[in-house]
Amino acid sequence: MPVGKEAPLHLKPIDGVRIGTAKAGIRQQERDDVTVFEISESARVEAIFTKNVFCAAPVLVAKQHLSETDTGYLLVNSGNANAGLGDEGLIAALTCCESLARETNCKTNKVLPFSTGVIGETLPVDKLVGSLPEAISNLSEDNWLAAAKAIMTTDTRSKGCSRSFELDGETITITGIAKGSGMIRPDMATMLAYIATDLPISQNILKHCIKAASAVSFNAITVDGDTSTNDAVVLMATGKANVKEIETKGDERCEAFLVELVHVFQHLSEAIVRDGEGATKVITIEVEQAISTKDAREVAYTVAQSPLVKTAFFASDPNWGRILAAVGRAPVKCLDVGKIDIFLGNVCIVKKGQRSSAYTEEAGTAVMSSEEITVRIVLAQGQCSASVLTCDLSYDYVKINAEYRS
């Protein structure tokens, strides 16, 4: 079961974005698995994609289409990744884009395709294309929740967030959905995320905002250290709100918007970790006083991705030596172990590189028994810091992934 926080009950519509879902039966027959986003002509769209060099066909096509023209539609399927198939995958992705373009009377390159699911299996194009009329027929601004469910794979619950705030006397809204549960490690993970706002924003500022918000959210989480072939985060700004367009970073409204956007991005990324495959606990790894942010992130990720550390959390076992060992093998130059302090919650377990004289096994066990745990690592070398969100590694993670294709 996912850790804490329930699935969203309501998501606010965004003027200029309509969504339709349909059941294509790509991998399962129980729920919708195809989603179409229709985006207004006034909108601007930015996206960031996986850095896995074996990126899937829809990623290649989406990147190309995004570089060529304004985006009018997003086409998403779950159940099949359309990855690792070479030209066959590219033809399948383009065929789906062409089909949606014909149905909606737009150019093919105005469609961005996205797929998530099993890698290396042929995408059933006929099923997907056959579902498009149904998806188009139920396009609505109120279908965010339906879309959040339709994009799921091994997720146990849908993930979404809405946030409204005042800007220049007008109410601005941001709504987003995401999927992801396993193969989660930036940049980014087996995850898809779609976020929209009605705020008018220039293309350059939209690009700045998606990168800045992702850096402290989707690119600061890990479930199992694996990076998928299909990851994407899409940010849409429809420009429908009656306020002046944000054109520069120096505009104070840009920072105000970014604060709200980060809240939505972090809510969605946290929901992914909380729904990590087999997860029973959520752990925050905080690294402080590093020489650089890069060093802090390397230490945080090394600890967060250690199978031995993660299984200790699952067992509520305060085996702090595993944390210490992970810190020591982080790819960071010139760590002075004689200065390092490590805390499990508020309990100091390592002081200046060795077991704290005040530490007791009982205190460590009490912290490890919690559903939400913070590990704080103080390197005492500089002023930089980083934080990574992760989860434990349970029997169920192995079971889920061993049975993934069965």
Q: What is the 3-state secondary structure (H, E, C) of 77-117?
A: EEEECCCCCCHHHHHHHHHHHHHHHHHHCCCHHHEEEEEEE
Strands 17-22 and 34-39, by their bridges, are antiparallel
**125/335 Cα distance (integer angstroms):** 53
Report the interhelical angle of 252-274 vs 203-215 (nearest 10°).
Answer: 40
**310/139 Cα distance (integer angstroms):** 43
**222/79 Cα distance (integer angstroms):** 22
Q: Which residues pair with 21 in a beta bridge?
A: 35
Provide the CA 261 distance to its chain's centre, in angstroms: 14
Strands 341-344 and 192-197, by their bridges, are unpaired
Cα distances (Å, whole numbers) of residue 121 to 53, 82, 89, 277, 287: 18, 7, 9, 22, 41
Q: Look up 190 and say whether it is catalytic.
A: yes
**26/23 Cα distance (integer angstroms):** 8
Catalytic residue, chosen from 116, 190, 197, 238, is: 190
Assign 321 to helix, strand or coil: helix
DSSP label at residue 221: B
Q: What tokens were used for 303?
A: 């600890």
Which residues are known catalytic residues?
Answer: 190
